[in-house]
Amino acid sequence: MALSSTLTAAQGGTGLRLDRLTAADATAVFDYCQDPVFERYLTIPWPYLRSDATSFIAGFVPKGWASDAEYTWAIREADSDELLGVIALRLPSGSLGFWLGAAHRGRGLLPEAVGVVADWAFSTGVTDSLRWECLVGNTSSARVAEKCGFTFLGEVPAESAYRDGGHPLSWSGRLLSTDPRTPRPGWPWA
């Protein structure tokens, strides 16, 4: 199966381009990962060092692509090389993860990026369902999943281990290839 490392969203959206992270993105990854929100909600090392950004881009990301275990894309506007954030699809679980740098939040970029990855994953047959989870309280991530049509599955121990090796309570959701891409009932605030 031919897998594309570059995806675009130009119809009705902001014109995002999802492509491979490069060595030139290391400074932005490092800078974004200093955000205390990342310490609280993401599984990244903390404190996050410049060497963590370099090894993520030069080691973790290409190994994921080579093994078909995790596809990671940089989120950029179509007409710019500036890194806005990152989105990844882990297989075989279909687990989706994403983040944006603080300056780029609140613009509707993540729902668009999730839609692009979902379209690609479903149309290529990589998976017929996507999984999403975030720590309880991460309403920003949950609102993205809600907007994208994920079904809220409840509060469960996190499938992914966190920094301390534990599995804290997380919100969980699922999007099937046959699901409409509109908000569904059942979210904690609905």
Go through the domains of the chain in sequence order and give each one's CATH number.
7-176 (3.40.630.30)
Tell whether the model's pLDDT for residue 64 goes beyond 80.
yes
Q: What's the average model confidence in pLDDT over 8-19?
A: 69
Q: Which residue has the higher pLDDT, 61 or 6?
A: 61
Q: What's the average model confidence in pLDDT over 41-63?
A: 96
Q: What's the average model confidence in pLDDT over 172-183?
A: 97
Q: What's the average model confidence in pLDDT over 135-145?
A: 96
Q: What's the average model confidence in pLDDT over 41-45?
A: 92
Q: Which residue has the higher pLDDT, 94 or 5?
A: 94
* pLDDT tier for residue 2 given thresholds of 50, 70 and 90: very low
Q: What's the average model confidence in pLDDT over 139-143?
A: 96
Query: What's the gap between Cα 66 and its chain centre?
Result: 19
Q: What's the average model confidence in pLDDT over 44-55?
A: 96
Sequence-ordered list of residues with C-beta below 8 angstroms from that of 32, at least 6 positions apart, any chain? 38, 83, 85, 99, 100, 101, 102
Q: What is the pLDDT of residue 11?
A: 40
What mean pLDDT, rounded, does the chain reach? Answer: 92
Spatial strand order of the sheet with 95-100 comes to 7-9, 16-19, 70-77, 85-90, 95-100, 129-135, 169-176, 151-157
